[in-house]
Structure 1
Amino acid sequence: MSGRNKSRILFILYCSVLIYFDNSFSFMIFNLFLAFVALELSYLLPLFLFKSKFQAPVSIIVYTAFILMSPNIFYVVTDLIHLRIFPFKFWAEVEPKEWWHFYILTSGVIIAIFFYHLMIEQVRNIVNRSKWGTLLLFVFVVLGSIGIYIGRFLRFHSVHVFTEPFSIVKQFIDSLTGEAIMFILWITLLQLLVIWLFPKARSKSILL
């Protein structure tokens, strides 16, 4: 089974579990949905390469949409902070409800990392066409880290790039402290770690 089909099955199953069972992490449905949309967009990239000036406007729209949506995948990893709402007194007794929520949240994060791996494969297929492929991939990762920072701490979504672009830039610049830069660096290193742990597959799956 292809990675793309696995991702679709995982997305449907995970959201179904969250919808059916009452839990504290229903927001993961929306977060993983955004991640899934970004992944699906990555599979469309080869279809919208700049092949002619007539195709350029559509290509720009698709690639811009993908770049704006792509941080949503690794953003899910930062949702692990929500585990802090549980005391996890594991030295006293096993609390099934706490560990059920632990299972739900970590499962979503693992699925998101799988999505990220698949997305990076598609990005590699595109950037490796250039002699600057490695640099382009690194820039993509750094931009993703900045997007995650903006989403996590400034609470902007991808759509706000179109509705409040100047506000995003201003607040981002104003918020750039040493701690903010350190966060962006750490998230960048985490993404690079995932990329290094899961090397590029030999086969290039484009459509299915």
Structure 2
Amino acid sequence: MKALKITFSNTIRQHYALFYLALFCIILAVVRTKLTSGHYLFLIWNLFLAYIPLMISASMLNNIQLIEKKNYFYPLLCFWLLFLPNAPYLITDFIHLNTKTGNGVPVWYDILTIISFATSGILAGLASMKQIFTILSLKYNPLLAWFCIAASCFLSGFGIYLGRFLRFNSWDVISNPFELLLAVLKSLTESTALGVTMGFGCFLLLLFHFYTSNNDY
């Protein structure tokens, strides 16, 4: 597991870059609030949720005991998967873009704000997936790691459907599990759920492949 310590040290600079990008996003949202209203302040909360998977995977890389002990590793892995859809979910916030706001804020500014948040969320998600992939590759093998990452991509796509169309969130697994389960079972036969799951799942998997294509594992 010494390779994990090396991997973590090599990702510190990347974490700083993601932090600066998140800070830039927050500044954009706050400036817009000062100019007109707090319409886009919810993006800050969405971005925080998108960074939770990265916090989990980075903690696992930094603490080998969390990986070696099953009673820590598997619950953390499930917790990571539970919050992972929040990273690509930010892409769907373009639904809030209104080109006829009439509030004095240029449309380009709102586009810049949303695309900055979406990019930040996607990059944080990809960085986190890469870290989990590295952990699974070293703990088990690369083939299993690829299978788990592919499964997580399509589960994230389904999570986007649950969040954007059915308005569930990650916390509903604990606070509202029965209603969530019924919604999941019902959506298994719906074409929109299948389309969103496959579309965003393939998109996320292709992004991850591109993101890791120049790295050796």
TM-based fold match above 0.5: yes
Of 25, 37, 41, which aligns to 2:40? 25
Of 110, 126, 133, which aligns to 1:124? 133
2:174 matched residue in structure 1: 162
Equivalent residues of 1:39, 1:119 under 8 A apart: yes
Aligned equivalents of 1:142, 1:79: Cα separation in 2: 19
1:92 matched residue in structure 2: none
1:186 matched residue in structure 2: 199
TM-score (norm 2): 0.79
Q: Percent identity?
A: 22
1:28-177 equivalence runs, <5 A: 28-46=43-61, 47=63, 48-49=66-67, 51=68, 55-83=69-97, 85-87=98-100, 97-128=106-137, 129-130=140-141, 131-176=143-188, 177=190
Larger mean Cα displacement after TM superposition, 107-116 or 179-188: 107-116
- Structure 2 SS opposite 1:33: helix
1:195 matched residue in structure 2: 208
Aligned equivalents of 2:205, 2:150: Cα separation in 1: 8
Q: Deviations over 1:42-91 (max 9, x none)?
A: 21233311x2xxx43333332222111111111111112222x2259xxx
- Structure 2 SS opposite 1:158: coil
Equivalent residues of 2:51, 2:125 under 8 A apart: no
Aligned equivalents of 1:203, 1:7: Cα separation in 2: 22
Aligned equivalents of 2:136, 2:80: Cα separation in 1: 14
- Structure 2 SS opposite 1:25: coil
1 or 2 for the larger relative contact order (CA 8 Å, sep ≥6)?
Answer: 1
- Structure 1 SS opposite 2:212: coil
The number of residues matched between the two structures is 193
RMSD: 2.3
- Structure whose residues are more often helix by fraction: 2
1:168/1:97 CA distance change after superposition, 3 Å: same
Aligned equivalents of 1:155, 1:56: Cα separation in 2: 33
TM-score (norm 1): 0.82
Aligned equivalents of 1:3, 1:191: Cα separation in 2: 20
> After the TM superposition, which segments of 4 or more aligned residues of structure 1 sit over 3 Å from their partners?
200-204
Unmatched segments (≥5 aa) in structure 1:
89-94
- Structure 1 SS opposite 2:106: helix
